[in-house]
Amino acid sequence: MPTVPDDFVAGVRATLPLLLGLIPFGLVAGVAAVDAGLSPAQAVGLSAIVFAGASQLATVDLLAKDASLPVVVLTAVVINLRMSMYSASIAPYLEALRRRWSALYAFVLTDMSYALAIAEFTDETGDDAPDAADQPAPDGGADGSGHRWYYLGAAVFMWLVWQLATIVGVVLGASIPESWGVSFAVPLVFLSLLVPELSDRPRVVAALVGGSVAVAGAAWPLNLGLLGGALAGVVAGVAVEGREAA
């Protein structure tokens, strides 16, 4: 790589407006991790390896409550299941990539990098569900290679910002008095991710059912209120969609 491709720089630049959301989220991830009793190395390791804010917050929250380890892992995995949809949605645009590149793509796939990339890709093809006719050009072609550098620029830069924000959060964490209630920022972050999701009736019902079951089951053992609420919400969403389609 003799020079930095223009598309890489374009991808980095496209992330700038998102940093207002990404940086406080990363700070909270760092603060929450040390508050939960993780060491600085563990807190940064979590951000570097998992790189998925909502599941990181749930993980440290459950570790702080000494939930059983299978529940900690299962909860994080359930939260991250949504990314299989991103994986499915973005895959057609990356099909021409060699396997080691596609693994790197997958590693830095997040809500924000997916949203940015899919907006850029579909802007070029004019179609958000590409078929064989408008696939990007094969690897090495001008079009496919541009996609790759743009995505890598955006996603890798966000990964770096996430690590820096986490480190700052880890450093600040110990010095923020508990009476400020900064831990309340954690559900507020989830809330700000939830609200834009409520785009139609089935999703609203999924959230209402999921939230209600979780409140009712807040005292259930093993944090099963969360998993029960999530499952009940998904079932309710599918049911409402099925009834509306009928």
Give residues 58-117 in contact with other proteins (rule: CB under 8 A).
58-59, 63-66, 69, 72-73, 76-88, 90-92, 94-95, 102-103, 105-107, 109
Instruction: Report in angstroms how near the CB of residue 19 gets to other proteins at its nearest.
Output: 10
Question: Nearest CA to 166 among 13, 65, 26, 50?
Answer: 26
Treating both helix axes as pointing N-terminal to C-terminal, what angle do 19-35 and 53-64 enclose, rounded to 10 degrees? 20
* CB of 5 or CB of 217, closer to other proteins: 217
15 binds other proteins (CB under 8 A): no
Task: Provide the 10 A C-beta neighbour count for residue 60.
Answer: 25
Q: Encoding tokens for residue 169?
A: 């959060």
Q: Encoding tokens for residue 213?
A: 């079951």
What are the CA-CA distances from residue 35 to residues 28, 59, 69, 138 (Å)? 10, 12, 18, 47
In the region spanning residues 112 to 151, those forming contacts with other proteins, defined by CB under 8 A, are none
* CB of 137 or CB of 215, closer to other proteins: 215
Instruction: Report in angstroms how near the CB of residue 227 gets to other proteins at its nearest.
Output: 8
φ and ψ of 11, to 5 deg? -65, -45
Report long-range pairs for 212-218 (Cβ below 8 Å, ≥24 apart). none
* CB of 168 or CB of 231, closer to other proteins: 231
Q: Encoding tokens for residue 233?
A: 């919400």
* CB of 153 or CB of 233, closer to other proteins: 233
Choose one: 8-16, 17-25, 118-126, 141-149; the region binding other proteins (CB under 8 A).
Answer: 17-25
Instruction: Report in angstroms how near the CB of residue 138 gets to other proteins at its nearest.
Output: 14
In the region spanning residues 212 to 241, those forming contacts with other proteins, defined by CB under 8 A, are 212-215, 218, 225-227, 229-234, 236-238, 241
| C-alpha torsion 50→40→69→186, nearest 10 | -70
201 binds other proteins (CB under 8 A): no
> What single-letter DSSP state applies at residue 135?
P
195 binds other proteins (CB under 8 A): yes
Q: C-alpha 24: how far from its chain's center?
A: 14
Instruction: Report in angstroms how near the CB of residue 175 gets to other proteins at its nearest.
Output: 16
- Distance CA(18)–CA(23), nearest Å, equals 9
* CB of 3 or CB of 179, closer to other proteins: 179
Instruction: Report in angstroms how near the CB of residue 25 gets to other proteins at its nearest.
Output: 6
Treating both helix axes as pointing N-terminal to C-terminal, what angle do 142-173 and 40-49 enclose, rounded to 10 degrees? 160
Interface residue with other proteins, options 12, 14, 46, 156 (CB under 8 A): 46
Interface residue with other proteins, options 9, 10, 40, 42 (CB under 8 A): 42
6 binds other proteins (CB under 8 A): no
Size of the site for other proteins (CB under 8 A): 96
Residues 6+ apart with CB under 8 A from 40: 34, 170
